[in-house]
Amino acid sequence: MIHKIFVEHSKIIEDTYRNCEKEIERFALLCQDALKNGYTIFFCGNGGSAADAQHIAAELVGRFQRERNGLPALALTTDTSILTAVSNDYGFEQVFARQVQALVGKNDVVVGISTSGNSPNVVCALEIAKNLGANTVGMTGSNGGRLNDICDVCIKVPSEVTARIQETHILIGHVICQYIDEVDYGDE
């Protein structure tokens, strides 16, 4: 069983590279451009995707591989007072959208992570972001769900298995962080 999981993981990683290389590079370039020009990258997702959002944002604010100044990135999944107040007052579907409306500006980057591509609160957030003139990126599974039609860039991991999709999402997140680390943001 363990060997089967590793083989499946490796195949999905290779298929993602083959099918999504251009989208991953577009995502990386959007982030580089935004950061070079003083904009912010925002991340949202639910469950394991919320953890991925926090992980990637932390790599940018802290550091990834090289010492540099912190970069403006924020996971919209971390402020429990906002999450519970907005969910209580407006409904869980609005939990990220309300934050996007308050915090995101034109040319920022908003990344929605959803293995199905159909999480209502992520979809709603990216719709608001798009209306605000932000760049929108979806990280999804197989067909991209609703995010496929909303996002400027949609990276669709070719799998239906949540665990394999999430494993691939964090690899893509690390690829983006390494791409970002290659640029001087005025701290050297």
What span, in angstroms and rounded, lies between the C-alpha atoms of 130 and 105? 10
Domain count for the chain: 1
109 forms beta bridges with 41, 135
Structural domain boundaries enclosing 58? 2-181
Has residue 112 been placed in a domain?
Answer: yes
Contacts by residues 90-93 (CB-CB < 8 Å, ≥ 24 positions apart): 92/120, 92/121, 93/120, 93/121, 93/124
Has residue 187 been placed in a domain?
Answer: no
The CATH number that applies at residue 64 is: 3.40.50.10490
Give this prediction's pTM.
Answer: 0.95
What span, in angstroms and rounded, lies between the C-alpha atoms of 111 and 10? 25
What span, in angstroms and rounded, lies between the C-alpha atoms of 35 and 111? 14
Judge whether 134 and 109 are in contact, CB under 8 Å. Answer: yes
Has residue 186 been placed in a domain?
Answer: no
pLDDT in tens, the chain (188 residues): 999 999 999 999 999 999 999 999 999 999 999 999 999 999 999 999 999 999 999 999 999 999 999 999 999 999 999 999 999 999 999 999 999 999 999 999 999 999 999 999 999 999 999 999 999 999 999 999 999 999 999 999 999 999 999 999 999 999 999 999 988 776 65
What span, in angstroms and rounded, lies between the C-alpha atoms of 65 and 37? 22
